Structure 1
Amino acid sequence: MKTLSLIALPIALVACTNSEDAQATDAASEERAALADISPVDRMPFEKTEIAVFDEPWAMTFLPDGRMLVTEKAGKLLLVDNSGSKTEIANVPDVAYGGQGGFGDVILAPDFASSGTIYLSWAEAGDDNTRGAVVGMAKLDLGSENLALEDLKVIWTQTPKVTGRGHYSHRMVFSPDGKYLFIGSGERQKFDPSQDMASNMGKIVRLYPDGSIPEDNPFVDQEGALPDIWSLGHRNILGIAYDSEGRLWNTEMGPRDGDELNLVQRGSNYGYPIVSEGVHYDGKDIPNHDTRPEFDAPDVAWVPTIAPAGLVFYSGDLFPAWKGSAFIGGLASEAIIRVSFDGEEAREAERFSMGARIRELEQGPNGAMWVLEDGEGGRLLRLTPPE
């Protein structure tokens, strides 16, 4: 059973259900007191080291040798070493740059060590001023003197392409066994596609690594439904990751407030735009999840907004107290948010003010946390325990 938490910096407020009583109120008071003891204004449990500076960085992933790949939204893919030295990789796809669109995510194939295959997402132009996200796979030979992508092949397309330049989402993750590729597909600020089974916008999709459709996807046999859909009722999915127990989670931006952390379940409907813990930007109300129990409520909802971006689960030894926690990059909140878990129940545990919009986080090979700031002049930071 999900626990819905409404978070207001720096205190977590646990929303009571229809069975609200004094016991629930006491529990909420205890949680507020506990979080007050770990307010980010009281301590910063890491040191920040600036490694490199980028122009609108969006994603990063570590290579087996400890170097990393970083995307810049305008259309660059860069190989970066631990000293911050950058080498541009050639033959990247043309991207529809503008608004929230451009180059997106980059991840390694599960068999990268032998295949050299990477996966990329980007915004692609269509006819009549339309655009949509696509995902492609390509070979990257790190032993080549001139680094370039080879054999780039598009394996998934956001359907249909629409006008506008927002909410592409296009975050990616492989299942722990490497058998399936999951892609977050935003609703492109069009609302209704999130519930339209003839569109894969506002959905999380599930593919085989070559882009083909698994026969056990939940809507394969449903008439009028696209077979790649795994879950629906999403808005703008900017974080997707597996925890150590093999559970898939996502973060997504709410409309105005109501940002969400969701445990992603096969065939589940998360309700947008019919329900949300936020409201429309024009102030028009949206019913909350508790008014429509047929929809899955978020495990955590943030009011006011944190504007969540990248999501990672920490498993390293450098910060032992963080093991098993999720970390979310905050854009508008200019923070890193740590979420702790008790089984499938989640709550915000700490929030670290970073003084800049945080686009992406990754755990490095030795357990350090690596952070990408958003926008022009966005820095790559390495977080390590204080000496």
Structure 2
Amino acid sequence: CRRLGRSAPRPAPTRWLYYTSGTTSEPKGVRHTDASLMAAGRAMAGRMELRADDREALVFPVTHIGGLVWLTAGLTSGCRHLVVPAFDPEASIDFLSREGVTVAGGGTIFCTHYLARQQREPDRRIFPSVRLFVSGGAGKPPVLHDELKAAFGGGGLLSSYGSTEAPIVTHGLVDDVDDKRRTTEGLPCPGVSMVTKGPAGEHLPRGQEGELCIKAPQMFQGYLDPTLDAAAFDDEGFFRTGDLAVIDGDGYVAITGRLKEIVIRKGENISTKEIEDLLHRHPRVADVAVIGLPDREAGERCCAVVTLVDPDRPLELAEMVEYLKALDLMVQKIPEQLEVVDELPRNITGKVLKQRLRERFAAAAAVE
């Protein structure tokens, strides 16, 4: 540009400011451009094969980055949005049913509400035209895909992965086989470069767990507080997601946990997601979150916080331990504490606010 007497191109202006969910640390202001969010919307629309005759559930508020990405996905495809001002498990599902929703999504928590409603009304299909469900914004139990497919027909669950800093960087394909749908978040979207790295920043081979690091057209411009930028990117310019993942031989990405959600018990790293996936299969467990709590001897102890399908049928610690042993979970990974609550605290995308649980039960232990 200088040789031709032209000025260097100006960076695109920040048009959107979103805040991270704050589930593992203080919320951070994230700066986006129109182009970065349109890239996410186009990726989503392409992977879901959205059509002009689709009627998709826009249940995220546009004040959350997921809502805006859903909106842009619809704008690029011409489909009809079924917009709710705020998701209500009864009124919103009634609305989506009346309007003949074909793409019912938003995230795991929305899918579980759809499933619960269908199970309460087995004599009719509440979404007779649905062709797929979409999950993102929070982890999913592997059984969810099969449950949705059995209850509603259609293609079942199609998952995506991203963050406020880089939304929709992976997404499943509509013709993916069941196993990929159950256990992965799909393939990297067009233009996305994705690797896993070890503790020293080394690139890891496929099939080996490491921190997921990405470059993408969906990438944010930086944080509102620029002092946070340096720690967010590595020396190669990859964004450090803080998520642990495995990229399989076909390129599909499975999220296995978060660096900050590992319980370090007696020097051994324990993945909370591994335990949660197993407890989700327990017939009396409706929902579960596994957290680490301070422990004088072990450093951290593993605590399972659950809600029950039927509060009148309690789950005892000893029963949970035997259940996990029967599933061949290593003994050192089995939670030594069980807490039963009426409801898990979640944000609007369905992510469990584990910090609230840690504060609650750490404080309770201190009182005892």
Q: Indicate the TM-score class for this superposition, using the shorter chain for normalisation.
A: 0.3 to 0.5
The higher-RCO structure (CA 8 Å, 6+ apart) is 1
TM-score by length of 1: 0.31
TM-score, structure 2 as length reference:
0.32
- Computing the radius of gyration from Cα coordinates, the structure with the larger value is 2
| Structure that is richer in strand per residue | 1
